[in-house]
Structures are given as structure tokens and as C-alpha cells.
């Protein structure tokens, strides 16, 4: 063991040479020792520290809350002996904002309180690393959620709303999505005014419940090419405004700019929506309540979200264009008007599926014949899309031609089957072909894989005609069986497609029972009213196309 003097010198050296910033204060909180590490960390000279309380040190108030430190040292550490361990102190030093972990504990000797020792450790970097990690994880989580939350439907507006909803409030306090108006109208962008762009606002999401900003969903926005959103489109890259001053220089119209400033917007970025080389529009993300300005990491995240959303928006745009073209084609191939026919009172309805579904190949026809008879036909091409609609048109045209040539129902079915097989329609198609003779009131029917016709008797009783289903069109060349059925005056023959009665996961017999009840309970005075009643009861919002053809036997 050394002498006490040597021990004290060793302790002094340990205190002074410690790399941890350390200071010793007496019971009155006056500084007695402050090592070199402490002085360098705080930038305070030794002569300005020794003998002074924290609140008496010149410049200390600009660095930390000295009143808080004195209160904790006096009331908690020295009086109660309860140490302070790694409490974060925010320090405003010349080099910028720093964070230090403050630890303080009471020092006693021989039962007497001598004062308190405090240490400071710079944890600014560690906290920043932790913050960066949290932000990176949050960004990764946002991107992962984008995969499941954006593009759930083939609807342009819905997809844009999903993008805005994902961005607010995690990435923005306000998000807007504007698409180029000519593109939505399927117009050539080369014909627009080169001096400005026209956008249609398709989505807005704002975290402020009472926020009011220019332009709502549906508004048409004309924008000069010098404004930030237009610049983002022309450059095909994001444009960023980091401060209120840069927001004011964004080139927005005075009214729009003022509404953003009134909203409290202090930073924003305009990110182009580009998919497959086609510029669709722009999404603008703004911050008001969130005090942090956008940085490059935010821009990269927004760009990734915009790129993903743009692909889904473009898919929806292309699908909508094809769907509309298919509906137009399909309607052009269906009968515009059904002519009056002897012995029958005819009513019909065709109802396409919802916008979210592809067009089908449902069709029907009423064909007056030179013999005074009338041919009735209904069918369904399996599959969806323009190809199904085109095949449907071929079947309807061929059916009418064969019927007018006097071919019986089984021969019509045979020829249609040959046609479908030749077109390569792998899943085939269904069809019922019937020829009604008003003189004898006999109806001859043949079926190729279609649902059975329903017959409502004059007393309201409804049955399904026992008509052999036969093979799908294109599935084989065997002859289709035909049956003859006598129809009573006032009876109603109902031909329909599966979209009227089928529901996912439900046995077909349940749908047939619903149809029988709807026909039996519906009004019989007006065939149009009966059509509307059956549709309203069974398929108010059909998931698949619906064709319904009703024929009531009249007196001659």
C-alpha cells in the first residue's frame, strides 16, 4: 500500500484523466472539480466553473436548463441520496443540438455528505442511429403495406385513393393525386396546349379534419409548365420544397399557394407517376403539423410508393379502356329492338356485370321466320373479355342465319358446336335454341349445356322444362336431343343465363328455386314489369352478365 498522499494523487489523476466528462459539486452545488473532458465537452473554462453553482456559470443557461439540474441535485441526489442515471439532456452547443446522458450520485465519507459527482456522455450519435433505424423500419413497413393496400381493385380512382390513404399521416399531412386529364379521356397528349397541362384531381387525403385547400376531387386543374408539379412531370423526377420560402417559390397560383400557407404547409414534394414509360400524373405530399422538412430519404420513399401505385393506376386505366370497348362491342352485337312476333308477347333484359368484372359472352335473340314461326335463342360464351364478346357475336349471327334457312334446333346446335370448336374456344359455350309455332302452340327445344328453361303456367305455378342439357358447344359432335312442348295461352317461357341465379359457393338448385319463386310471385300483366321484378329480386348488382328473355303465349 502507498502513502495517503500517493493515493490522493492517484485519485486526482484518475479524475483529471478520465475520458468521461466528470464534475464534482459540494452540498451547496458549487463546483469544486471539473476534469478536462468536461471542460472540452461543454466549452466552459475552469475559472468560470470553480466555486460557482450551475446557474451562476456564465453561458450555462444557454446550454442546459440549470434550474432543473440544481433542483434535481439538491432535492433528489444530495438530500435523498437517489442517483440520476442516464437522463438525456438536450444541449444547444455551437456545433448544433447535442444530447448527453447525465448521471449524478451522492458522495459521502464517514457518514458525512460531501457533495455530488456528475458525468456526461455524448449520446447524440447513438440516438441518431436509433432514430435512423426506426425511420428505416417505418419506411420498410410502409413499402410492405403498399404491396397489399395499393391496387386492390382495377379502378383508377380507388387506386389513387389507396395511395393517398397510405401516405397520410405517416409520410404526409396532406396528399393529393392528380392525373393528366387527356390520358383519362384516352386522348392523344400530342394535341394538348404545350404551354400548360390539364390535370384531373382524383384523390385527396388530409390529416386536418377542418383543412380547406383549393381544388377538390373531380376538379379540373390547368397548370403552367413552370409550376413544381408540372416541372416534376417534365423532368420525370421529384421536385422538393424544403422550407416555407421554397414553398413560396414553387410557382403555384397565388390563390392555391395562399391556401397551402394558411393550411400551415412548410415543405412539400411533387412526385411524378410513371408506369411503362407513360407519365400518368403527379402526387403531391405536404407537411404542416409534422415539423420536419422532407429530406432525400423521404423523396426516395415517396418515389417508391409512387412507382408502385403508378403501375396499378395504369393497369386500371388500360383495363377500363378495354372494358368499355368490350361493353360497346357487346352491346353492338345484341339486338337493339325485338320485332313483334305472332303468338308471343316478348320482353327481355340484358344487364352487364359491375365495372370491376370483365365483360362476358351472354347473348339472346328473337328471330321471326318466313314460315310464321319464331326462333328464340339464348347462350353464354364461357370466359371473359373482348374475345368472349366477339365469339358471342359470331354465335348470334350464325344462329340467326341457320334459323332463317329453316334448320331445326338440333341442327342449329350442331353447326354452332362446329363453329365454336373451330374458333379454339377451349372452355366452350352454352346455348338453348327453340322454335315456336303459334298455330299449334308447340315449341321445339334443343340444349347445349345451358340451364333449363323455366315455364310459368297461367295459374302462376312454375316448373323447369325437363330438357336434356347435352354437351357444351365445341365439346363434341354428337347429336343434341330435342323435345316438343305444348304451351298453353298465358304461359310464360323464361330463358336466362347463369348470372341471374348463381352465387359463389351455393348449390345451383337454390338459385333455380329463387327464380321459380320470382316468376311465380311477379306481376304477369306486363312482361316488362315482370322482367324488372325478376332482376330486382335476383340480381340487383350482378357479379356476372345477365341475359333474360321472357315470352308469353298469346291467343290467336
Segments making up each domain of the chain, as ranges: 4-122, 139-324, 334-553
More confidently predicted of 336 and 132: 336
Give the residue with greater pLDDT, 196 vs 234.
Answer: 234
Q: Looking at residue 357, what is its pLDDT?
A: 47
Q: Determine the angle formed by the axes of helices 124-149 and 156-167, rounding to 10 degrees.
A: 160
Residue 54 makes CB contacts below 8 A (sequence gap 6+) with 29, 31, 60, 64, 66, 69, 70
- Kindly tell me the sign of the dihedral angle through the C-alpha atoms of 500, 452, 341, 382: positive
Q: What is the mean pLDDT of the chain?
A: 85
Region of 406 please: left (phi>0), alpha (psi -120 to 50) or beta. left
Confidence band for 111, pLDDT divided at 50, 70 and 90 = confident
For the chain, how many residues are written?
A: 556
pLDDT of residue 537: 92
The domain defined by 334-553 folds into: Phosphatase 2c; domain 1 (3.60.40)
- Whether the per-residue pLDDT at 200 is higher than 60: the answer is yes
Query: pLDDT value at position 446?
Result: 96
4-122 and 139-324 agree in CATH topology: yes
Other beta carbons within 10 Å of 220: 11
- Spatial separation of the C-alpha atoms in residues 277 and 269, rounded to whole Å: 21
The x, y and z cell numbers of residue 325, run together, are 370497348
Most confident of 188-192, 216-220, 319-323: 216-220
325 vs 204, more confident: 204
* Residue 356 pLDDT level (bands cut at 50, 70, 90): very low
Tens of pLDDT, residue by residue over 484-499, are 999 999 999 999 999 9
Residue 425: pLDDT over 50: yes
For residue 480, is pLDDT > 60?
Answer: yes
pLDDT digits (tens, 9 = 90+) for 284-297: 999 999 998 998 88
Phi/psi of residue 37, each to 5°?
-60, -35
Tell me the β-bridge partners of 201.
178
Residue found under cell 423521404: 298
Is 190 a residue whose pLDDT tops 50?
no
Please give the CATH superfamily to which domain 4-122 belongs.
Answer: PAS domain (3.30.450.20)
Q: What is the pTM of this model?
A: 0.56
Q: What is the pLDDT of residue 149?
A: 77
pLDDT tens digit string along 216-250?
888 898 888 888 888 898 899 999 999 988 888 88
- Relative to beta strand 546-553, strand 492-496 is antiparallel
Architecture of the structural domain at 139-324: 2-Layer Sandwich (3.30)
Measured distance CA(434)–CA(551) in Å, rounded: 11
Handedness of CA 463, 464, 466, 467 (dihedral sign): positive
**Does residue 426 surpass a pLDDT of 60?**
no
| From 141-145, 518-522, 549-553, the region with the lowest mean pLDDT | 141-145
How far is C-alpha 153 from the geometric centre of its chain's CA atoms?
7
Q: How far apart are CA 214 and CA 258, in angstroms?
A: 9
Amino acid at each position: 500500500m502507498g502513502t495517503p498522499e500517493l493515493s490522493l494523487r492517484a485519485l486526482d489523476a484518475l479524475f483529471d484523466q478520465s475520458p468521461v466528462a466528470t464534475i464534482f459539486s459540494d452540498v451547496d452545488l458549487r463546483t469544486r472539480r471539473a476534469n478536462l473532458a468536461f471542460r472540452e465537452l461543454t466549452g466552459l473554462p475552469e475559472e468560470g466553473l470553480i466555486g460557482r453553482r450551475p446557474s451562476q456559470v456564465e453561458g450555462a443557461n444557454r446550454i442546459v436548463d440549470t434550474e432543473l439540474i440544481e433542483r434535481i441535485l439538491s432535492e433528489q441526489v444530495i438530500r435523498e441520496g437517489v442517483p440520476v442515471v442516464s437522463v438525456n439532456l438536450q444541449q444547444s452547443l455551437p456545433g448544433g443540438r447535442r444530447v448527453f446522458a447525465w448521471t449524478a450520485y451522492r458522495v459521502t465519507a464517514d457518514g458525512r455528505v460531501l457533495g455530488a459527482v456528475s458525468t456526461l456522455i455524448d449520446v447524440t450519435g447513438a440516438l441518431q442511429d436509433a432514430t435512423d433505424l426506426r425511420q428505416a423500419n417505418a419506411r420498410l413497413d410502409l413499402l410492405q403495406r403498399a404491396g397489399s393496400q395499393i391496387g386492390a381493385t382495377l379502378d383508377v380512382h380507388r387506386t389513387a385513393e389507396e395511395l393517398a390513404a397510405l401516405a397520410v399521416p405517416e409520410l404526409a399531412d396532406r396528399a393529393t393525386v392528380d392525373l393528366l386529364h387527356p390520358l383519362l379521356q384516352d386522348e392523344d397528349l400530342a394535341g394538348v396546349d404545350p404551354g400548360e397541362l390539364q390535370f384531373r384531381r382524383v384523390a385527396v387525403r388530409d390529416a386536418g379534419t377542418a383543412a380547406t385547400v383549393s381544388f377538390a376531387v373531380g376538379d379540373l386543374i390547368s397548370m403552367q409548365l413552370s409550376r413544381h408539379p408540372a416541372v416534376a412531370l417534365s423532368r420525370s423526377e421529384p421536385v422538393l420544397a424544403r422550407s416555407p420560402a421554397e414553398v413560396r417559390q414553387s410557382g403555384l397560383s397565388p390563390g392555391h399557394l395562399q391556401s397551402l400557407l394558411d393550411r400551415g404547409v412548410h415543405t412539400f414534394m411533387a412526385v411524378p407517376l410513371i408506369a411503362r414509360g407513360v407519365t400518368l400524373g403527379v402526387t403531391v405530399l405536404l407537411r404542416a403539423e409534422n415539423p420536419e422538412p422532407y429530406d432525400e430519404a423521404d423523396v426516395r420513399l415517396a418515389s417508391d410508393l409512387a412507382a408502385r401505385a403508378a403501375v396499378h393506376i395504369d393497369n386500371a386505366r388500360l383495363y377500363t379502356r378495354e372494358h368499355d370497348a368490350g361493353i360497346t362491342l357487346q352491346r353492338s352485337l345484341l339486338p337493339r329492338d325485338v320485332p313483334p312476333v305472332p303468338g308471343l308477347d316478348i320482353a327481355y333484359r340484358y344487364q352487364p356485370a359491375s365495372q370491376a368484372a370483365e365483360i362476358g359472352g351472354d347473348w339472346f335473340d328473337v328471330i321471326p321466320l318466313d314460315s310464321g314461326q319464331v326462333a328464340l335463342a339464348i347462350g353464354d360464351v364461357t370466359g371473359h373479355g373482348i374475345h368472349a364478346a366477339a365469339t358471342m357475336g359470331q354465335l348470334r349471327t350464325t344462329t340467326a342465319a341457320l334459323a332463317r334457312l329453316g334448320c331445326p334446333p338440333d341442327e342449329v346446335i350442331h353447326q354452332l358446336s362446329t363453329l365454336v370448336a373451330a374458333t379454339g374456344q377451349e372452355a366452350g359455350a352454352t346455348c338453348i335454341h327453340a322454335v315456336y309455332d303459334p298455330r299449334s302452340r308447340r315449341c321445339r327445344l334443343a340444349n347445349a349445356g345451358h340451364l333449363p328453361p323455366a315455364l310459368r303456367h297461367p295459374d302462376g305455378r312454375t316448373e323447369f322444362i325437363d330438357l336434356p342439357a347435352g354437351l357444351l358447344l365445341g365439346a363434341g359432335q354428337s347429336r343434341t336431343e330435342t323435345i316438343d312442348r305444348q304451351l298453353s295461352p298465358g304461359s310464360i317461357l323464361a330463358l336466362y343465363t347463369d348470372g341471374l341465379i348463381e352465387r359463389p359457393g351455393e348449390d345451383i338448385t337454390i338459385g333455380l328455386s329463387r327464380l321459380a319463386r320470382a316468376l311465380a310471385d311477379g306481376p304477369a300483366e306486363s312482361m316488362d314489369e315482370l322482367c324488372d321484378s325478376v332482376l330486382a329480386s335476383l340480381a340487383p348488382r350482378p357479379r356476372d352478365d345477365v341475359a333474360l328473355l321472357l315470352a308469353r303465349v298469346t291467343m290467336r
